[in-house]
């Protein structure tokens, strides 16, 4: 069996799982340090840590905890190998928009909606962030593979 492009539903569930795990860890750390998760400095550090950990996990293992739960993995669309840290961090760079004071959360939300829409409109569910970094998000062991690299 050949891996095929992941559906948008699985990708959203994987992303929500990753954010939930990060929020639980961040909340535990905030509780341990006696600060609020809404503290701007803490929130900035947490966002950078989430971006860095997501990028490192995708580069090192080809997956994140949320992607593992939904049987997804990422790879480079040309070589078919794991992502380099450069491509993984470039793919996830939109997460860092959240850091921008006052407008960050609004920008982050608009970009997230835009990226989901770009995934839905693509015939193989590769969003603009994936195309930019030459990345495929694949579901393991599908019976009927789609062509990940070209649309008819």
Per-residue pLDDT of 36-88, as tens digits, reads 888 888 888 999 999 999 999 999 999 999 999 999 888 877 677 888 898 88
Instruction: Report pLDDT for 150.
Output: 45
Render pLDDT for 110-136 as a digit per residue (tens, 0 to 9): 888 777 777 666 666 666 677 667 777
pLDDT band of 22, cuts 50, 70, 90: very high
Greater confidence (86 vs 138) lies with 86
Mean pLDDT across 11-32: 92
Asked whether 136 and 130 are in contact (CB, 8 A), the reply is: yes
**Inter-CA distances, 129 with 5, 24, 30, 103, Å:** 15, 26, 31, 21
Residue 148's pLDDT is 46
**pTM for the structure as a whole:** 0.77
Question: Between 32 and 125, where is the model more confident?
Answer: 32
Give the number of C-alpha atoms closer than 13 A to the C-alpha of residue 135, restricted to the C-beta side. Answer: 28
Q: Higher-confidence residue: 11 or 117?
A: 11
- pLDDT at residue 139 tops 90: no
């Amino acid at each position: 069996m050949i891996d095929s492009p992941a559906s948008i539903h699985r990708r959203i569930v994987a992303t929500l799982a990753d954010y939930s795990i990060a929020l639980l860890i961040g909340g535990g750390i905030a509780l341990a340090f006696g600060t609020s998760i809404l503290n701007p400095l803490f929130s900035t550090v947490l966002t950078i840590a989430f971006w860095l950990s997501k990028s490192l996990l995708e580069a090192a293992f080809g997956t994140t905890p949320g992607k593992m739960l939904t049987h997804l993995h990422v790879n480079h669309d040309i070589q078919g190998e794991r992502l380099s840290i450069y491509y993984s961090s470039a793919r996830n760079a939109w997460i860092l928009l959240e850091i921008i004071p006052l407008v960050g959360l609004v920008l982050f939300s608009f970009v997230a909606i835009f990226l989901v829409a770009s995934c839905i409109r693509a015939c193989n569910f590769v969003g603009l962030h994936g195309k930019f970094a030459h990345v495929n998000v694949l579901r393991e062991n599908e019976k009927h593979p789609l062509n990940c690299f070209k649309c008819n």
